[in-house]
Chain A
Amino acid sequence: MIEAVGLTKRFGAKTAVDQLSFQVRPGHVTGFLGPNGSGKSTTMRMILGLDQPTSGQVTINGRPFRELGNAQRNVGALLDAKAVHGGRRARTHLLSIAQLSGIPEKRVDEVLAVVGLQDVARRRTKGFSLGMGQRLGIATALLGDPRVLLFDEPVNGLDPEGILWVRNLMRQLASEGRTVFVSSHLMSEMALTADHLIVIGRGRLLADMGTQEFIAHNSAGFARVRAAGNDQDGRKALAAALTAAGGRVLQEPDGALRVTGLELPHISDLAHGVGVRLWELSPHRASLEEAYMRMTQSSVEYTSTEDPRAELWEPDPLALPAWEDGAAAPEVPQDGFFAPPPPGAGGKPFLMPGSAAELAGTAGTAPNNPEDTR
């Protein structure tokens, strides 16, 4: 259990971490999300006693890190894959850390095998790739078989096989009842790995909730409804009925309706009620990536003049010229709305995931959960 209370860190006039309070509970993988410069690493460093908080405190199992007796046995951490002396061999690097806690030499070879570095154990670490460095760092964290594990960006530089391995490792460690705290800005990765999320921006806590809950709260899940033959009258009637039932209806350029606030079966019933046949009635769930973008867009620290998030965002399909008959339903606002795109360019009325991120976002969740089509 990691507990932060009013944790604050100032560097001169700049506040890196501002009144942060959270708990990281055992038995879960807790993801730590935030844009670059939002204070993730500083928070990690304060947890490990490397930085002194300006005010507030953070404890591990009730005690500040610097007062823990046998640190390696209690807390394992990967902060920086390159934080090793490049002239030392992988095995002796681990050995020197193992000896601090009286961990037997046998355990060093064990963790080297766990992370898959047994073949390069006797090589100097300056020849290591970033991925090998990450593995060595993970080996360091695992050495003392600790109950609390911290990983700062553990999948940086890993190949897909390595990413999968880290994901399974995290989940396994958590299932053994350990406290696992992982920072990352790879949203799709977090969606698959973390059960719980702590999101910060500009050093402030933005969210502390379950991953599913976070996605549900911070993204616009919606239903896409398409009347048969794109028939305008049917659509108008349907839109009126949906609005009357308390739904919010927006119109997409290709004539489909984007409905929030109503569940799918209810929409179907209403369509039946007004006698409109449907060609499409599909749930759309936002991915963690969108939820995250939506939440942190105001707290991104470093933005380039060319929007750096552009590549993460879906191109906004709604920015196309407005459909001529806009009276029936209001246009989808085009400002700051980062929902997945409508079906492919040909307007084919079947569902394709808009992006890999969307795929990842739904893969980790119960698919097509009608509750989320608010």
Chain B
Amino acid sequence: MSFPAVLRSEWTKIRTVASTVWTLAAAAVVTVGMSALLCVFLNSQFENMPKEQQLAFDPTASSFAGMSLGQAAVIVFGVLVVGTEYSTGMIRTSLAAVPRRGSFLAGKLLVATALALAVGLVTSFVSFFTGQALLGEHSIGIGEPNVLRAVFGAGLYMAVIALFAMGLTMVLRSSMLALGILLPFVFLLSPILGSVDATQKVAYFFPNVAGSRIMQTVPAVLDGSEPPYGPWGGFGIMAAWAALAVVAGYAVLRKRDA
């Protein structure tokens, strides 16, 4: 059984369930919509902001602000791609058809991550240009230093957060369990830890916190809370988390009975 065949099969599987369309569409719409709203608000309130905030204003990152919410849909996408195999019992049919479990896992993750990357890139570019159009005189061009990196980075962020979710679901073998851990982690734990001085340094190394550094073009120097890594360093930390989750997921898939 050739690997391209596994890829073709996984592509058929992923494009023929409604949840793929809904989750990815939600991710794009929520990200672009929320970012646009925030940009309109920032543009109108810019003069009322404190001086420091005006100086540290990051128009690029502002146009991705909606991604903090949109990533929830990406996480749900990743969890469902893997989790529905287990919840429906499809995993047994899949593994009876692909005896080599490594091929099965690699094929599934590759197809789903590539799809998340494609949707992520489209979303990040649309979100960026929409946001800049709405920011008016405070906007920034895509040719400015670091801006293109941030736009690509936003797309990559979506792909890697999806991969992380898939790996974790592979370990837990349950959509409910995976969502029950991932969503509170991203929306409760990391903001709470990140806002307390004592624990902020821990939160810096969470995948979503570290990874989102790549979307910023202006370092947050003013409040002295600059994380100990650069944009790509942060992205690397996030990728390491995803890699860890995938390796653990593979170990579970190999070892455990389906």
Contact = CB atoms under 8 A, between A and B. Distances in A.
Contacts of B181: none
Contacts of A48: 95-96
B17 A88 contact: yes
Nearest to A70: B1
Interface string A77-109: 101101111111100110111011110000000
Contact of B16 (A66, A72, A89): A89
Interface residue tally on A, bucketed by range: 35 or more
Query: Of residues A48, A89, A99, which shows the largest number of chain B Cβ atoms within 10 Å of its Cβ?
Result: A99
Contacts of B92: 45, 50, 79-80, 83
A53 to B, nearest CB: 10
Contacts of B17: 85, 87-88
A49 interface: yes
25 contacts: A50-B95, A66-B100, A71-B96, A71-B98, A75-B96, A82-B89, A83-B88, A83-B92, A84-B88, A85-B84, A85-B88, A88-B13, A89-B16, A92-B13, A92-B16, A93-B16, A96-B9, A96-B10, A96-B16, A97-B9, A99-B5, A99-B12, A101-B1, A101-B97, A102-B5
Contacts of B100: 66
A350 B18 CA distance: 64
A187 to B, nearest CB: 27
Given A70-B1, A101-B1, A101-B5, A83 B89 contact: yes
B183 interface: no
Given A49-B96, A100-B1, A101-B1, 14 more contacts: A71-B1, A71-B99, A72-B1, A84-B88, A85-B13, A85-B88, A88-B13, A88-B16, A92-B12, A99-B8, A100-B5, A100-B97, A101-B5, A102-B2
A48 B5 CA distance: 20
Contacts of B258: 45, 50-51
A12 interface: no
A66 B12 CA distance: 23
Nearest to B95: A50
A138 B89 CA distance: 16
A85 B18 CA distance: 11
B16 to A, nearest CB: 4
Nearest to A124: B18
A52 interface: yes
A67 B88 contact: no
A52 B101 CA distance: 13
Given A48-B96, A68-B99, A79-B96, A96 B257 contact: no
Contacts of B90: 83-85
A222 interface: no
B6 interface: yes
B93 interface: yes
A140 interface: yes
Task: Return the 10 tightest CB-CB contacts between A and B, nearest first.
Answer: A83-B89, A92-B16, A51-B257, A96-B12, A99-B9, A66-B99, A50-B258, A87-B17, A99-B8, A96-B13
B200 interface: no
B130 interface: no
B146 interface: no
A80 B89 contact: yes
Contacts of B68: none
B95 A140 contact: no
Contacts of B93: 79, 83-84, 97, 140
A65 interface: yes
B88 A86 contact: yes
B43 interface: no
A70 B9 CA distance: 14
A93 B98 CA distance: 15
A67 B93 CA distance: 17
Contact of B97 (A52, A69, A86, A97): A97
Query: Of residues A86, A87, A95, A96, which shows the largest number of chain B Cβ atoms within 10 Å of its Cβ?
Result: A96
Nearest to A95: B12
Contact of A45 (B6, B12, B19, B257): B257
B150 to A, nearest CB: 36
Nearest to B100: A66
A77 B6 CA distance: 19
Contacts of A96: 9-10, 12-13, 16
A80 B100 CA distance: 20
B77 to A, nearest CB: 14
Contacts of B101: 66
Query: Of residues B8, B10, B91, which shows the largest number of chain A Cβ atoms within 10 Å of its Cβ?
Result: B8
A100 B9 CA distance: 6
A165 B164 CA distance: 47
B253 to A, nearest CB: 12
A50 B257 CA distance: 6
Contacts of B9: 96-97, 99-100
